Structure 1
């Protein structure tokens, strides 16, 4: 597949200088040569499309087969993922999830959060008389 794309790109890039040249009427030999190159490029791309057609059909069939499973996954896991994302402020602040031997999954922060500072009660506030 990479070879086909490389060849197609090469042919396309080779045609660019020809198109960039003066657009005046070429001599008869050059006009015939250019039309032969055009015909060759058309045949080349037609062959590529014929070779890629089964792979594209398979890809379309795979996407059609996976669609119901993906829809079900989104319906079932969507709310849970939304809740998780509300609790996790920025996913880049965390290491990849770890699976513990007991089956728990933990997300460790790369940098620990600073400890929360509790408000200091003012004098006479928050005191309990016994």
Structure 2
């Protein structure tokens, strides 16, 4: 999509002098002729725009077909995504996701949190207390 915007912008920048010309063939003043490079670039961009016109029409039609499905997806996944973002404090605290050989995807914290080790009620042991074996 970025290429399309670039091509359209270039075409619009180069085309105003073409549109401003009279339909009558008037001889150009000496020194005002376009260079071969300018003329070639203009012709190239006009050709690209002619070739892309059907694709742009198809893209517009496809966007109309996909829009309801995207709207439904956003309505269904929006709450789940908001819940997920509520569990993640700040994305800058995490490394990029990595995939393990078994297919699991993990996201590691850059600075690990201190583990919370409450006492085990079954053993009646306080945190940090030594156990005799």
TM-score, with length taken from structure 1? 0.49
More helix by share: 1
TM-score, with length taken from structure 2? 0.48
